[in-house]
Structure 1
Amino acid sequence: MGRPIVAITMGDAAGIGPEIIVKALADSELRSKARMLVIGDLRRMQLAADIVSSPLTLRKVTEPSEALFQEGTIDVLDIDCIPEDLAWGELSAAAGHGSYLFIEKAVQLAMDRQVDAICTGPLNKAALHAAGHKFPGHTELLAELTGTEEVSMMLTAPKMRVIHVTTHIGLIDAIAKINGDLVYRTIKRGYELLRTSGIENPRIAVCAINPHAGENGLFGYGEEAEKIQPGIEKAQAEGINAFGPLPADTLFFLAGRGDFDLVVAQYHDQGHGPVKVLGLENGVNITVGLPVVRTSVDHGTAFDIAGKNIADHESLLEALRQAVDLAPAREEAL
């Protein structure tokens, strides 16, 4: 079997996505493990290549079968939708619509099995909304495009993986939404992904909602026993090595030193904060539960530095490595 094909979406054209893609695709070790196909606007990608003084040549294709995946070149499936005079670092509905079109095309190709994984460049939620695409972010957009009822967001960093029971909703709404079945499904999705990536019996620790895990009723209104414990017990009954609910402050310390393979966070900031403290440059976002493999950088469009050749591409490199690790291999033409 040969190298998988990974579709890389350009993200918001006014942000750092085009730059970091060009930089990342100069990595020969990465290119030796997978075939990379950029889905974006060719003119914008060429502008980014000029800005970073890339030695690579961009090559236009209209479908994956036309890509050659040759050393020294970047195959770009051109979706011509970005104005030539689009400014770097400025909110633009045109850029927001473009980021939607790139994702839409990548999902279509992945669902048709023409590519084996998707790795997404950063989009800007305000630009996406300005273009009429009312999604909180990539995760919800991908769920909609793939017809998936429920997915989970997993963030990874050196020494830590965190999957979220809830994400882009307010804290009060998150607590109301959490229940044993949702906690169980989140644990199960994380368990299955880690098994796919080669961890035979992952150790999964589940965060409490309240300080000190409620301290036997001293804090909160019994959420741990009512909303979390039943999900853990259901997972344990299936042989999943799940622990908790545990106080989040202690749990993240233990996870950081290697006691657990995965942390289940109950809400957005509970999980995001510890991961981002470990370093945005190495963070990766994985959407768990989709019918396709999808990874992403764990940072935004960085409008303040876009177009200046100072953006760090390490998070994208790590996201691409993880996409390759999760993607199935496919036959390669001789």
Structure 2
Amino acid sequence: MRPLLITMGDPTGIGPELIVKTLLAGDLASLPLPVRVIGDIAALQQAGQIFGIVAKKTEEAGPIVCLDFNGHRLEVEACSSLSAANLNYGQPDHDCGRAMAAYIEQAARQCLNGSAHAMVTCPINKKAINAAGFSFPGHTEFLADRCGVKQVVMMLAGSSLKVCLVTTHLPLTAVAQQLSVETILTTLRITHHALQHQFALPRPRLAVLALNPHAGEEGLFGDEEQRLITPAIKAARADGIVADGPHSADTLFHFAVHEKSADAVICMYHDQGLIPLKLLHFDDAVNVTLGLPIIRTSVDHGTAYDRAGSGSASTASLCAALRMAATMSPQPFNGTDSKP
């Protein structure tokens, strides 16, 4: 079986210890697919010491090493050879920045060539990656570039709610300027395709939020609903997509969660979707990149330098990301196949 790949993320963040903690809890063994870590031996061994374990190499085959954590075996593909003496939690150096990028590159390469089922990413330090010469805001943009994809959609998902973002990391003052009929329509098409082909929903229902309070009150509080959002919804429906709205954000989430009125909520900006999502799924939310020709899920948190090295960070998001990746099917979006 093709493995699930976990990229280790920042060697000085909580990524390595989360991997070891899930291993020791038996969560990796419970998955339906084998797991391989793309990372660093020294960093993982250092993480083992947090839990009082001296991890030993038991097998080596080229870059792939089996580490034994007191009877719990972890397959690791070493893409860096960092010095344990230089690994200080919360202080990634230039070598760590290059290593983080190398893990992502290798996992993406294997997913693209079909030798791996999916990649699940642990958190990175964006500043360290940029300092190492990789000028991307984060994982999503890095992977889109490596996969040759221009447009992707960020989905944040939990068991009760899935939200997809039309715009992501922008100041609120820039959101309205970035919205267009095409960007909203593309988000609807990519989300529809992913829910159909990767999440096995034959006819997914998309609830589209308004930008302004009370859906603009017919132009009283803004006209983006009339000029941009409603035309995008009409165009999506012409494609056969089940989409409705624009809905006022202050009421829609109640019905989406409690009455299951939508399979995903399309949000115009970051906090519009992430506040309700994290209220419900603060520990176990999963970040999914839709629109790639590969499966990529991620933990929905950062490097947590304040907790790194303590062993106290929750593994709930990593476990949820692994379970979701294992059940998804890779179906690339080509921009023309949105009709059911």
Paired with 1:37 and 1:136, the residues of 2 have a C-alpha distance of 26
Deviation (angstroms), 1:67? 7.7
Residue in 2 aligned with 1:47? 46
**Structure 2 Cα separation of the partners of residues 94 and 275 of structure 1:** 35
Partner of 1:78: 78
Please give the per-residue CA displacement for 1:23-60, whole angstroms capped at 9, x wherever unaligned. Answer: 22345465340111100011111111221246976655
Equivalent in the alignment of 1:17: 15
User: CA–CA distance in 1 between the matches of 2:189 and 2:53?
Assistant: 43
CA–CA distance in structure 2, aligned partners of residues 62 and 175 of structure 1: 51
What's the counterpart of residue 332 of structure 1?
A: none
Instruction: Give yes or no for contact 2:66–2:74 (8 Å, CA) kept in 1.
Output: no
Aligned pair in 2 of structure 1 residues 29, 178: CA closer, same or farther (>3 Å)? same
Q: CA distance change for structure 1 residues 327 and 61 in 2, over 3 Å: closer, same or farther?
A: farther
The TM-score, its normalising length taken from structure 1, stands at 0.90
Residue 193 (structure 2) aligns with: 192
Count of residue pairs brought into register by the alignment: 323
What runs of 5+ residues in structure 2 fail to find an aligned partner? 331-340
Taking the TM superposition and a 5 Å limit, the aligned residue runs for 1:211-230 are 211-220=213-222, 222-230=223-231
Percent of aligned pairs sharing the same letter: 40
CA distance, structure 2, for counterparts of residue 292 and residue 148 of structure 1? 11
TM (norm. structure 2) is 0.89
Structure 1, unmatched stretches of 5+, are 329-334
Give the CA deviation at 1:203.
Answer: 1.4
Gap change, CA 1:185 and 1:11, over 3 Å in 2: same
Paired residue secondary structure (2:103): helix
> Could you tell me which residue of structure 2 aligns to residue 267 of structure 1?
269
Find the aligned partners of 1:261 and 1:54 in 2 and give their Cα distance: 43
Name the CA shift for 1:56/1:204 in 2 (closer, same or farther; >3 Å): farther
Alpha-carbon spacing, 1:246–1:141, altered in 2? closer, same or farther (3 Å): same
Distance 2:82 2:275 in 1: 34
- Distance change >3 Å, CA 202–CA 27, structure 1 → 2: farther
Equivalent residue letter for 1:77: E
Deviates more, 1:285-294 or 1:122-131: 122-131
Pairing partner for 1:289 from 284, 288, 291 = 291
Q: After superposition, where does 1:151-300 map in structure 2 within 5 Å?
A: 151-196=152-197, 197-220=199-222, 222-257=223-258, 258-300=260-302
8 Å contact 2:206–2:264 — kept in the other structure? Answer: yes
Of the structure 1 ranges 155-164 and 268-277, higher mean CA displacement relative to structure 2 is found in 268-277
- Matched residue SS, 2:80: coil
Alpha-carbon spacing, 1:167–1:188, altered in 2? closer, same or farther (3 Å): same
Q: Report the equivalent of 2:337.
A: none
User: Which moved further from structure 2: 145-154 or 275-284?
Assistant: 275-284
Structure 1 residue 118: Cα displacement:
0.5
Range moving further from structure 2, 159-168 or 197-206: 197-206
Q: Deviations over 1:90-146 (max 9, x none)?
A: 243332221111101111111111111000001122222232322111111111111
Taking structure 1 as reference, are residues 213 and 60 closer, same or farther at Cα in structure 2, changes over 3 Å only? farther
Q: Whole-Å Cα distance in 1 between the matches of residues 92 and 80 of structure 2?
A: 19
Assess, with a 3 A threshold, how the Cα gap between structure 1 residues 208 and 88 changes in structure 2: closer, same or farther. Answer: same
Structure 2 distance, partners of 1:269, 1:236, is 26
Q: Which residue of 2 aligns with 1:314?
A: 316
- Measure, in 2, the Cα distance between the counterparts of 1:108 and 1:67: 21
Alpha-carbon distance between aligned partners in 2 of 1:60 and 1:225, rounded to the nearest angstrom: 62
Distance 1:214 1:102 in 2: 45
Answer whether contact 1:30 1:321 (CA < 8 A) is retained. no
